[in-house]
Structure 1
Amino acid sequence: MIRPQFNDAECLTTPSSRAAPPRPSPISAAELTRHGKACIENRANPKRSAEINPPGAAQRLVDLEAGSGRELGCLRLRYEAELADARRALDDIAIERAALQVELGKIGEEHRQLHSRNSKKEADLNLAQARMRDLDAQLNAKEADLATALNENRTLENGLRELKDQVVTLELSLEDAKKHLHSEMLRRVDLENHLKTLQEKMTFQKCLHEDELKEMKRVHESRIAEMESGRRREFESKLSDALQGLRKQHEEQIQGYKEELERTFSAKVENAQLSAARNSDFANAAREELMETKLRVGNLTSEINHYQSQNAALENRVKELQEMLDKDRDLHRKRMAEKEKEMAQAQKKVQEQLEEYEHLLDVKLALDLEINAYRKMLEGEEQRLNISPSASSHSIATQATSEGRRFLHGRKRKMKARKREHSAGFKTVQHASSSGKVSIEEIDADGNFVRLKNNSDEDQPLHGWVLRRHLESVSDVTYKFPSQFTLQAGQVVTIWGAAAGVSPGPSDLIWKSQKSWGSGYNIGVTLITDEGEELAERKLMHVPREEESGEQEDEYEELMGSEMELPSQVRFLKLKYKQLKNSDC
């Protein structure tokens, strides 16, 4: 038999001191099983084991039993370690499963929330799509109007283009006229320069002839000085004759030169005058044509400016129409929201009145039951005491009841008459809207004042702001706030009429130019900013009062009267019951 060898150190190791114990092989387990069975048989039958085994085998058997015990201990420790590992793995799996279940619950809740949110978003999307279709229809209508305006604008632009072409043609003709005038002015300057040149030449010739005469005279005088005195007498006569002849000849030549120069100068002057006259006539004609051209250019420029102003006015009109459309949309949206809010408030008020009516009915029923109970108790006491119902008490109760009912019915008839009379008239209704920080809080029905309030946490300067009042048959009037006035955060300001007769406080203003804000069936006040934006509006209207509301109020008064009547009956019955108790005692 092969004996398995075991190490004591391995048997003493714990699961915490090793990572993973090795599993025993199937062969060693079978051998251990056989060895264990043999040990049990030897212990049960020691004689047989002594006969089978020799005397030296006992020690080996003891050693084998000790080794098998150690091996079994090691196996038990290994199995316990594996079992602990398996339990830890199961705990980890259970924890992970619980975490996954929690996460699954969270994901399911998120899925439900997302599903509900998706439903709300789809409903909002449907509403937005319907609103978008309405806005698209309105936009198409406005685009058609815009296309019509653009066609008109295009026609005006074509006319403007033709006028610009005419202006260009006239400017070209004006430039040609200016060039022609400039050339004529140059010709005139040339002629004037030529005339000056001729005058200078004539002056030069005259000076030259005078110099020649002086030189000839000096020469003759020198010749005369050189002549001898004897010949002086002889030649004096000849010299005088020669001098006279020369003088005459020179005078004739000078006269001829002068006449020729005069004729030439006069001819040139006449030519220059004629050309100047012609040039002046042409210049006058060109000047007149230039003036006419300037007038036409001015007229065309004014027409162009007029058409440009018309075009700008049309563009501004298109912008104003677009802004009015946007304002109408916003105002319609705000009014619809206010109407929905008013309807919700009215429904809430009706529901509260119904609940109060039901409560009063319950109270009335409870009081009726209590009265019946006290009446039965009172009748039982009277029967027990063999006392007939006293006529006085019965008459007192009847009288109290009848008086209470007469008072109640009389009061009810008066209330009905008053409400019928008032319902035949009108009731006052105030409708307000606001799109900014400041709102119109109240309009006095007698027209004494108008009250404003700053609903924000910031101060609002009212420089340039106005209040515009509308009446049915009276033209609109405006009240302008003082330039330095500022409405503090949360402050209320009251604008009184001049005829209100009140002393203004620190938060009051007086409209000195107007006695009152006016009174009538329909009064409207609009708050307008310095930029022309309508920030708030409040209307005071008188509308016919409905009959159904009066009947409901009558029923309410009747119910309240019955409630007032029932406690008096209860108190009377309680008092009567106490009196009977005291008499019994």
Structure 2
Amino acid sequence: MASLGYDSFFPASHRRRVEVRSGGGGGGYGGSSRSRSVFTSYSSPMSRAAPHYSLAVSPMAADLEMSKVAQVSSEMMAVRTAEKTQLQDLNDRFAGFIERVHHLELQNRALESELQVLRQCHREPSGLRSIYEQEVRQLRAAVEEACGERQAAQERRHQLEEALRALQGRYEEEVLAREDSEGRLAEVRKGADETALGRAEEEKRLDTLLDELAFLKRLHEGEITELQAQMHYSAQVSVEMKVVKPDLSAALRDIRAQYERLTQQNIQSAEEWYRTKVGSMADTTARHSDDIRLARDEAGEFRRLLKARDLEIQACQSLNQALERQLQEVEDKQSDEIASMQDLIGQLEDELRTIKNEMAHYLKEYQDLLNVKMALDIEIAAYRKLLEGEETRFNVGGVGGMSSVFSHTISSTPSFGRPVFSVQSSLTSGTPYLLGTRLLSSSSFSDDMLTSSTAQKARASPAKEEEEEEEKGEEE
């Protein structure tokens, strides 16, 4: 048999170099012998090479060796049985792992499909976000327009208030002017009343003078009549008595002339006085009537102006009240719309935050599943390599049994380590150790992969958090 090496499967601490001799001819161990080096899976705690000796063995020693070989072979059978049971257990565990891998692959495919659906669903909010942003921009533009209208309405309100204050000032001035005009009108009325009273007194006095003049005329006519009668009687007496008497006609003529002159003077003076009084009264009446007419015209004009100002003030007040009501309605409407938009934006932000959290959770689960899948793939690959190695070794070891004798001589006393065993038994006995080493290496490799993936996730999580904070900042 050729020498078999298991350096690739066993570490240095579990290897020991021994000399294997195969006896040739008879039952002895003489003759030509060839040495070959093999590695066993059993080693002493001390890893050192023992000295090798070639000695001639007696028949008693051969019997002792055969009994020990039989004992060792029985032990090897027990070991092989235990190794076979352990291999069956490992095969069962391997089948369970394969079923678990299939189950996890199904779960992985389901999660991948769910992740794809979620990605497709989460691609849609980009359009919704643009729609919401456009709606928010329109609402902000409407709010700014409403604020501009409100500012214009406030400016118009200030202008109307200034106009109202100006009109109130003019109204107060007109009220003062009206009171002044009313005072002047009262004075003019008082003067007119006094003028009317004076006119009435003058008219009464004129009537009295006219009555007195008529009385004096009548009296003068009566005196003239009496004098004429006396003159006629005296003329008759003088004619009848034919007596020379004094000339009374001249005296009567003189008296008559004096009375006529006096009457004429009185009439002239009365007429002049009457004309003077009537003219002065007419001038005073005309003057006062003009003043009264002017005062009445001014009062009418002031009344018209006052009524116009009252109407303007009422119109401004009604317009101011209407504008205030409209401004209050616009403010209430805008505040309600802004509150509703803020609530809607808050709800959308909460939904977006919830979706991001769910997405991060799903990504974390997906990453965990990927890590588990990677570890299982690594473990499956290790098992596959082990199975391929086992199949290759079983195919190589199918030629037949082989007996080997290990002789170790220490201080002239021969000691036998592991006597005769077949290649198949050595391979099966090396299988648990090989499987353990492979499992250990695969588990350590999977642990390293999990550690590296966890570190990458930890490095990637701050970047995600920074991106989320930047997105929140842009949304705000």
Q: TM-score under structure 2 normalisation?
A: 0.33
Q: TM-score under structure 1 normalisation?
A: 0.28
Larger RCO: 1 or 2 (CA < 8 Å, sep 6+)? 2
- Structure whose residues are more often strand by fraction: 1
